Structure 1
Amino acid sequence: MFVYVGGMPTDKLAVWSLEGEGKPAALVQEVDGLFSPSFLCRHPQLPRLYAAERQWSEADPSSGAVTTFSIERDSGRLTVVDRRRSQGAFTAHVNVSPDGRFLLVANPRGPTVALFPLDEAGCPQGAVQVVRHAGRGPLDRQAAPWPHSCYMDAANLRLFACDLGSDRVMIYDVDGATGALAPGAQPFAQVCSGAGARHMALNSGQGLAHVVNELDSTASTFRYDPAAGTLAIVQTISTVPAGFSGANLPAEILVDPTGRHVYVTNRGHDSIACFAVGAAGRLELIAHVPSRGETPRHIAMSPDGTLVAVSNQGAGAVRLFDRGANGLIEDRNQALPALNPTCAVIFS
């Protein structure tokens, strides 16, 4: 099993090997010469890893970059096979459609969402379409659009883009043949004013979509109708304990492989909020588990749902946890040192 770690600010992407519980992790490789590879994702079928870099070069911050790596299955080592401009600046998020045909990129300082077709080898080609966002929210932080993340549904019919600046989840229909985007019949779903929609976790088995709101420490659950292409609000719930009054900026939201549990990272409270998916899709708090480090920006899970990796950006380490069938996570007292880690991908 391998763990790929990106960060910001840093010029490195680290590859770690995990031989088994209780055994020391081994640093396999560090890929240098990158510009804050702050978010990573892998191809659902091919041995390919993608990194969103915050800028193109030291001299050119006007564009972000998307870099494609091949993964050597036995060693886990990475080789760069493609690097291209992201069609916007300060690139924050990269994702692959479930069918593996398209790469989705969110550029907060575009402010754009770009869709790139992938060839048979998993390498992006020229962008099919670049959509520019407009609007703002009520807070100073929301003076302009800020497309923070993008996702495609399980049927590859729609693209969702969380816009922190406008408090919206934008909904686009996807042309199955070309990948061209068009505003959906419901063009957006609204979160609370000033909430700041940041990231989403699609829960296809339950027919739900969970959105973490960075600016008011909440998570919103929507019922998703794939036939109509609509998102209907079910619930909004706090990600921090009642009575907590400190500064907090939740960052990542994750659904386990069964669709029965949801996890949110709290930067400030420095915890993982663990929820069960209850009746009618409503989240029920199980516990707040300490992240064992400062500023947990990201949470990742192994395909079987038993291993959890929390990227504690302020602590300089990715902390590993075991996850039980009851949904709780337990620290395994193992950490992977990394410079300002912001994202991890587990590959097995």
Structure 2
Amino acid sequence: MIEKYLLGTYTRRISKGVYQLELDTDNQKLQNLKFVGSAIDPTYVAESNKKRIYAITKVKDDQENVTGGFVEWDGSSDDFPLKPIASIHDQETSPAYISVDEDKQLVFTANYHAGTVNSYKIAADGSISKADRIMDKGTLGFRKEQQDGPHPHYINLTPEGRIVAVDLGVDKVFIYDLEDSGKLVPVSELQMPDGYGPRHIYFDAKKKVAYLVGELSSNVAVVDYDADKGVLSLRDINSTIPDDWTEHNGAAAIRVSKDGRFVYVSNRGNNSLAVFSSDEKGNLSLIQRISTEGDFPRDFNLSDDESFIIALNQNSDNATLYTRDSESGKLTMIQKDFTVPEGVSILRKK
């Protein structure tokens, strides 16, 4: 079976934009890298059920002034490279994350450098209009990466349809109610310890918990979630790196197996995937740490049947393929030489 994945990248050296790779599950290999569409630093992408692809990007004018936003492509065609059907660039610089609400036909972005979370309405013809924009607020963390302001790094839907936004700069997680218009209505805030540096979050609705990655602290936290009230509360914090690791590391992406038994976190610096088992209450125990066979793994993803994991190494321009044991949760590397230029994110194509 062939599975296709969309790849977000930086375009600082050799990448030209968004790419697609194939996973051949029968032959257990990555193959057939294709160039999907041109954009400047399309680090994260999202795709709707209508196969509309939304890619973060930015544009420059004649004076090299930058404005950020995203571009929209019709992903129903494989006639690459795709041509934009719409775009919007109304932010100070390019966002850090993008996601889609199918029911309300909204797109959300978190803008790390501008300190804002944003919502946009998507019309039936694909045209885009701004719905809401909120500037994150809070006390800045003590680390140098936090000293220049709020830094929203992630925005997406919670299991019950609210919005969660994660801010690295002020060590907070924000929960919002979401109106059909795209307006964000504040519900609650979770204040993490000073310097935690929240980056990404994953909710397990059955266990009523969320797992929160701390980029700057190299941690993953277990957070209880009351979906009725929209309130998060910190339970426990676990390290993603060895106790004796003294060099730079930034925890990055998080994925959870469908059965909720295993949690995976990537480490940029230690260049590894940390594998945790999760008990029936969501408590974590480290069971493996395995090399990504490259440098700076920002993101990774599981295959449809979760027999494989694909990791992208940004600085070494390669993707690594693992088999995954569904009983133990542990990984075995089987391919490490597949070229992906400046890979940042990986999304299963619909």
TM-score (ref. length: structure 1): 0.90
Change (3 A) 1:12 1:126: same
Provide the C-alpha distance between the structure 2 equivalents of 1:17 and 1:78, rounded to a whole number of angstroms.
Answer: 18
Instruction: Give the total of aligned pairs.
Output: 341
Change (3 A) 1:99 1:332: farther
- Choose which of 125, 128, 133 in structure 2 pairs with 1:125: 128
In structure 1, runs of 5+ residues without a counterpart are none
Change (3 A) 1:173 1:39: same
Residue pair 1:98, 1:154 contacting (<8 A) in 2 also: no
Q: Would you say 1:196 and 2:194 are equivalent positions? A: no
Instruction: Report the Cα offset of residue 335 of structure 1.
Output: 4.2
- Cα shift readout 1:30-81 (whole Å, capped 9, x = no counterpart): 14531011112222x232222112x223655532121222223678874532
Provide the C-alpha distance between the structure 2 equivalents of 1:323 and 1:273, rounded to a whole number of angstroms.
Answer: 13
- Choose which of 68, 73, 78 in structure 1 pairs with 2:72: 68
Residue pair 1:28, 1:77 contacting (<8 A) in 2 also: no
Residue of structure 2 in register with 1:216 after alignment: 217
Residue of structure 1 in register with 2:284 after alignment: 283
Match of 1:223, SS state, is strand
Provide the C-alpha distance between the structure 1 equivalents of 2:181 and 2:135, rounded to a whole number of angstroms.
Answer: 19
Residue of structure 2 in register with 1:33 after alignment: 38
Residue pair 1:317, 1:335 contacting (<8 A) in 2 also: yes
Instruction: Report the Cα offset of residue 141 of structure 1.
Output: 1.5
Worse-superposed segment, 136-145 or 192-201? 136-145
Change (3 A) 1:85 1:102: same
Q: Would you say 1:42 and 2:47 are equivalent positions? A: yes
Q: Would you say 1:22 and 2:30 are equivalent positions? A: no
Q: Would you say 1:235 and 2:236 are equivalent positions? A: yes
Provide the C-alpha distance between the structure 1 equivalents of 2:28 and 2:221, rounded to a whole number of angstroms.
Answer: 39
Residue of structure 2 in register with 1:300 after alignment: 301
Change (3 A) 1:75 1:32: closer
Residue pair 1:320, 1:335 contacting (<8 A) in 2 also: no
Residue of structure 1 in register with 2:333 after alignment: 331
Change (3 A) 1:329 1:111: same
Q: Considering only aligned residues, what root-mean-square deviation do their CA atoms show, in Å? A: 2.3
Q: Which one-letter code corresponds to 1:162 in the other structure?
A: V
Instruction: Report the Cα offset of residue 19 of structure 1.
Output: 3.6
TM-score (ref. length: structure 2): 0.90
- Cα shift readout 1:302-336 (whole Å, capped 9, x = no counterpart): 23322311110121012122222121122121543
- Cα shift readout 1:199-257 (whole Å, capped 9, x = no counterpart): 11122232221111111111112111111110011111101122222221111111222
- Choose which of 106, 110, 119 in structure 2 pairs with 1:115: 119
**Stretches of 4+ moved more than 6 A in 1?**
73-77
Residue of structure 1 in register with 2:107 after alignment: 103
Provide the C-alpha distance between the structure 2 equivalents of 1:223 and 1:142, rounded to a whole number of angstroms.
Answer: 25
Provide the C-alpha distance between the structure 2 equivalents of 1:76 and 1:306, rounded to a whole number of angstroms.
Answer: 29
In structure 2, runs of 5+ residues without a counterpart are none
Residue pair 1:201, 1:209 contacting (<8 A) in 2 also: yes
Instruction: Report the Cα offset of residue 20 of structure 1.
Output: 3.6
Residue pair 2:106, 2:120 contacting (<8 A) in 1 also: yes
- Cα shift readout 1:271-324 (whole Å, capped 9, x = no counterpart): 000111124321111110111111111111223322311110121012122222
Provide the C-alpha distance between the structure 1 equivalents of 2:325 and 2:251, rounded to a whole number of angstroms.
Answer: 23
Match of 2:170, SS state, is coil
Residue pair 2:156, 2:163 contacting (<8 A) in 1 also: yes
Residue pair 2:207, 2:280 contacting (<8 A) in 1 also: no
Residue of structure 2 in register with 1:225 after alignment: 226
Residue of structure 2 in register with 1:4 after alignment: 6
Percent identity, aligned pairs only? 24
Worse-superposed segment, 141-150 or 111-120? 111-120
- Cα shift readout 1:132-157 (whole Å, capped 9, x = no counterpart): 1233222222111111111111221x
Match of 1:141, SS state, is helix
